[in-house]
Structure 1
Amino acid sequence: MPQNFPCFGKFAIACTMLTSSVLIALSMTVDTAVLAQATKSPIPTPQPTNQPTQPPITTPSSTNQPTSPISEKLLGQWQSKDPSSDLALTLVFSPDGKLYILSPNSQKPMAVEFKYSINPQPQPMHLDVVVSKDEKKALTIFEFTADGQLRLQLENTDPGQPRPKAFSPTATLFTKVSDNTKLPENIKIIYLDL
């Protein structure tokens, strides 16, 4: 396993998901990456003064996912720390249907870009993550806890496996650390060329 995404504790399944694509493992090994570029904010359209202004609604364009309170709540940066090492696994859900998994290696900050889609109707809710160029998906479940954490089932979510029906006792809890969907400056992104 490349040292860019070290496997530790309960994050071993996440590492397995990350390296399930030969392309990802190869990219990490040969250290090919692209620097992230800042995204431009849309210019708001002026509204007549006699009508109330409404915030723009962003829709994930690559997944044609409708905007919902659940998808809005998911947007941002979520983090889970391994209590034995203080290393953190960070997920960034963006409004354009992209999921970034940031390397816990602070000496060489990088992220792997995936596509994702959700279905908030079933309980627990469904999260599909495209993990390879040939559109293989890791099917999993998620929910928001009463205290606002994101519970995500990482165990037994390899591509080709059926979606888990319930959370295992080892399901990972993530805490929202930011509503910001932009990646940190100068982070290297590994693309799947999806």
Structure 2
Amino acid sequence: MKLANWFTICSSLVLLPALVLAQPTSEASQQIVGRWEGIYKETKMSMPLIFRFTSTGKLVVAVPAGNRQGLRAYWANYQLDPKPNPMHIDLSFEGDHNVIQTIVEIPNPRTLKLQLRPTESSRKRPIAFRDEVQFQKVSETAIVPLTQLSEAERSTSGEGQFVMTTLIRSAILHRVETDQFAKHLIELGLNSTSTQNYRFQLSSKGNQLVLIARPKKAGIKSYIAVISSEPSRDQGSTQLGAAATICQSVRASTIAPPMPKVSPRNSDRAHPIITCGSGSAPLSF
């Protein structure tokens, strides 16, 4: 098993519908269900990871784009064997015929340890943890409610970025998990279209979702975010991967940035390329 497998898959695989797997029954199989966030660290590199384990054997993974100015999401089938110590977990990705076999541990209901790198070259599955990624559970579902909004609202300049990054992460997980875009902001954890400093708007059509944050007052920046996903063109699949970018106005403006340009996926890349329009720049998140 090579670490490169995990992230090469993110940018290159063509995705097919999940296999029907047995419903989890053990305590560990129930505890693993939810949304987990962690940081993968390697020499001169760190990468935030979002893992969403569903109760039906589907794992949705969201990772930064190569330039860290966007988000990519894809999925795998997972099977958990809670009997060994540490527990075994198998991940199967379309586009990679080898099942990734590794180990996982849930020390407490809010913490998950997952071995992403091989520890013994002669073994297919690691037998012990070493430099594992530690995840924290942030939600039982794909959506993280905006419970910190009141704190963010006290920072006029920070509210827009905080809300947009929170919404877009939830929205891309929702899309890949359900094959559908959210239709209302409340589905993504925001109970109102208006906050202290911004008005928010969500719309979706076809393979794209658009989120807009317009300032209520002068002196702060506006935002537009796009999620784009396309059906696989191979083997008649309709399963989707997704790409997301948030564009921030270069200058303070009460007008939303122009619609970003979306270059469709082709045979050379698994995800669309989203480019911010004039007067705006991609946000790192």
Common topology (TM > 0.5): yes
Query: Residue 152 in 1 paired to residue 123 in 2?
Result: no
Which one of 55, 66, 77 corresponds to residue 95 of structure 1?
Answer: 55
TM-score with structure 2 length normalisation?
Answer: 0.43
Select which of 173, 190, 193 maps to 2:241: 190
Which one of the candidate residues 22, 39, 58 is aligned to 1:81? 39
Pairing 1:142–2:110 present: no
Q: Larger radius of gyration, structure 1 or 2?
A: 2
TM-score when normalising by structure 1: 0.60
Residue equivalent to 2:137: 176
Which residue of structure 1 lines up, in the alignment, with residue 26 of structure 2? 68
The aligned residue for residue 17 of structure 1 is 6
Query: Shift in Å at residue 161 of structure 1?
Result: 5.4
2 CA distance for matches of 1:91 and 1:108? 17
The alignment-based identity, stated in percent, is 28
User: CA 1:163 to 1:115, structure 2 compared with 1: closer, same or farther past 3 Å?
Assistant: same
Counterpart-to-counterpart distance in 2, 1:145 and 1:95: 19
State the match for 2:86 in structure 1.
124
Q: Which amino acid letter does the alignment assign opposite residue 27 of structure 2? A: P
Distance 1:61 1:68, change over 3 A: farther
2:125 matched to which residue of 1? 163
- Alignment partners' CA distance in 1, 2:55 and 2:107: 22
CA distance in 2: counterparts of 1:141 and 1:93, whole angstroms: 15
Other structure's SS at 1:99 match: strand
More RCO (CA 8 Å, sep 6+): 1
Of the three residues 54, 72, 83, the one matched with 1:110 is 72
Flag structure 2 segments of 5+ consecutive residues without an equivalent: 144-168, 172-208, 210-226, 230-239, 243-269, 271-285
**3-state SS, counterpart of residue 83 of structure 2:** coil
Q: Report deviation, 1:122.
A: 0.8
Tell me: CA distance 1:109–1:161, structure 2 relative to 1, closer, same or farther (3 Å). same
Number of aligned residues:
146
